[in-house]
Amino acid sequence: MLDIDQKSDGSLDAPFVFAVNYVPSIAQVSIKGKAKISGPAEETQKMLEEHRTKKSTPVQLVQAVSNTAMADAILISRSLNIPPPLPPIPQPQAQAPPTKTDTRYTA
C-alpha cells in the first residue's frame, strides 16, 4: 500500500503494487491498482486516522488486496504458461533449547 486518500464522496482510495518474483528469474508479475474503500463514515474516518497516526495500513485492507491480487496473478500466470505464484512459506523459527534446571531430590 502506498497511501490512503480521502475522496469527496467520503470513500477512500488506496493505491497499491503487488509484485511476484520468480526464483530462478523466469518471470515477474506486477499488478498495480487502487483499492476503493467505502462504508459508514465513522469507519472510513477511523481507518484514515489510524493510517495517518500509526503510518501503517490496516490489516484487513492488506489481506483483501493481497487475496484479490494473488488470484489475479494466478490467472495471469496461467495465461502466460508459467508456474502459479505460491504464497511465501513461513520459515520455522529456531527455538532455544530448554534450559536445564538443577533439580535436587532429597529424602
pLDDT tens sequence across 72-83: 999 999 999 998
Among candidate residues 73, 56, 65, the one with its CA nearest the CA of residue 16: 65
| DSSP code for 5 | E
Reported as a single tens digit per residue, the pLDDT across 19-60 is: 998 888 888 999 999 988 888 888 888 888 888 888 777 788
pLDDT of residue 30: 92
How far apart CA 8 and CA 11 sit, in angstroms, is: 7
CA dist 27 → 20, 70, 80, 86 (Å):
8, 15, 10, 14
- What lies within 8 Å, CB to CB, of 10 at 6+ separation is 38, 41, 44
Q: For the chain, which residues make up each domain, given as ranges?
A: 5-80
Contact 85, 20 (CB under 8 A): yes
105 pLDDT more than 80? no
pLDDT of residue 73: 92
How far apart CA 54 and CA 62 sit, in angstroms, is: 15
C-alpha cell at 69: 491480487
pLDDT of residue 17: 92
Reported as a single tens digit per residue, the pLDDT across 89-104 is: 676 776 666 666 666 6
pLDDT of residue 55: 78
pLDDT of residue 103: 66
Q: How confident is the model at residue 11 (pLDDT cuts 50, 70, 90)?
A: confident
